Each structure stands twice: as structure tokens, then as C-alpha cells.
Amino acid sequence: MKYIVVLWLLIIGLGSCSTDEIEYYEAGRYLYFTEVSVDSIKESFFFFPGEETIGVDLLVRYAGKPIEEDMTYRLEVDENLTTAQAETDYEVALEQVMPKGQMIDTLHIILKKTAALEMENLQLALRIVANENFQVGPLDSIQSPRIIFTSQAVRPTWWDQDVIDYFLGAYSEVKYQLFIQITGISDMSQLTTAEKRIYSIRLKNYLIEQRNAGTPVMDGNVEMSVPVL
């Protein structure tokens, strides 16, 4: 008898959760950024020689009642987290469109190269705001990651501890430049572990070839090396 009561309580609990979820999604339309686990996105014109602009895309996801026609949504610049100036340093439309029948939209941001970036970092942060078509999602998901950009050399976000330990070793400007030159890529954030290993081995093989030729590649006062096996 005890087990029957417990089972019945579980069924009631599950039923109430399902009802709450249905009511939530039928109550309106909600928008939020998908990159909630990322604090910042870093970009540098240093690694894009000859380029005057860099494009950054953010994903805005939708939940709620079906979208039966194109609907506009609004963004605003978070002035407390932004040092870049509109038009001069970046371009982004603060009124966007969520297409009919879609659950996700790509927000395009253009960063501009200016002389100031040779000496400093600039920062841009956006926030989703409610309008007549959409409400905002949870508060921790309506704020975009901070977009930090410069023309100085900076370690990319994807060059994390795993990359240091298992693929490329400690970061340096010289190593990053050589990695781009040898592999033709500047971003490993979307690569699989196997692909990261392949590109890291290309750099390692080049370093071995240079050492065998009597012209080892130096990184400061030491010979450059990478730990990938």
C-alpha cells in the first residue's frame, strides 16, 4: 500500500510540472541568448591582416507560441559594459527580425578596425528587451557575452587549459602566428578532438623539420615545442 501511495504522488507531481510548462509556453513568446555560459568573446585584428572589419555572430533563441509571421524584436546596448562607440567602432541593428516558423535567429555584429585598437581593448555588450511581440527569457540569458576587440595580440578563448596540456602548449604570439601560417586556421573552437590533434601535429612536424634542418624555431629564448602526441 505504501508503494502505491508513493507512485500516485509521483504521478501527480509530474502532471503538475507538465501543466506548468504548457502554461509557460502558451503564455507568450520569449527570447534569450544561447551563449549564456560564455562570459566574453575576444577578437583581435592582429590575426586578420589586411581586414578592416570582423564579423561576430550571436544566436538568439525563441520559446513559446508558434511564430506565424515575421516578428521584430529589440536589443539595446548595455552602457555599463560597453566602451565602443556605435558606427565608429561597430555596427549592429538594434531592431531584428525573428523569421516566421523559426526557433533561432543569428544576430550579426560588425567590428571596425580603428587606430585606437592599437593601444587598447574596446568592449560591446547587448541586452534583449521586451517589445510588443516578445518577452524576455530568464534574466541570466538576456545579456550577451561581452565582445572584447583590439588590434593587439591576445590569447584566443579557445586556447584553454586542454589545448595547453594536450595540443599546443603554452600560448605565445609567435606560436599563434606560426600555427596560423602552417595550418591556415585561426580558430579551433568548433573542431573535434581528432581535428585539433591533426592541426597540432602539423605544427609539431614543421618544428621537427626545422630542427633537423639546423634552423630550430625559437619562441623567445627557448626552442618552440608543442606537447601533442
pLDDT along the chain (229 residues), means of 10: 37 40 58 81 85 94 89 96 96 95 93 94 96 87 92 84 94 89 87 95 96 94 93
Residue 154: the pLDDT is 78
Strands 135-136 and 29-33: parallel
Q: Is the overall model pTM greater than 0.75, yes or no? A: no
Give residue 27's pLDDT: 63
> Which DSSP string do the residues of 39-93 spell out, in sequence order?
SEEEEEGGGSTT-SEEEEEEEEEEEES---S-EEEEEEE-GGG--S-BTTTEE--
Is residue 46 located within the same domain as residue 129? yes
How many domains are contained in the chain? 2
CATH number at 115 reads: 2.60.40.2030
The answer to whether position 141 is within a domain reads: yes
Residues 203 and 144 in one domain: no
Q: Are residues 64 and 93 in the same domain?
A: yes
pLDDT given at position 37? 66
In a domain, 8, yes or no: no
**85 and 178, same domain (yes or no):** no
Residue 77 shares a structural domain with residue 187? no
- Structural domain span for residue 170: 161-223
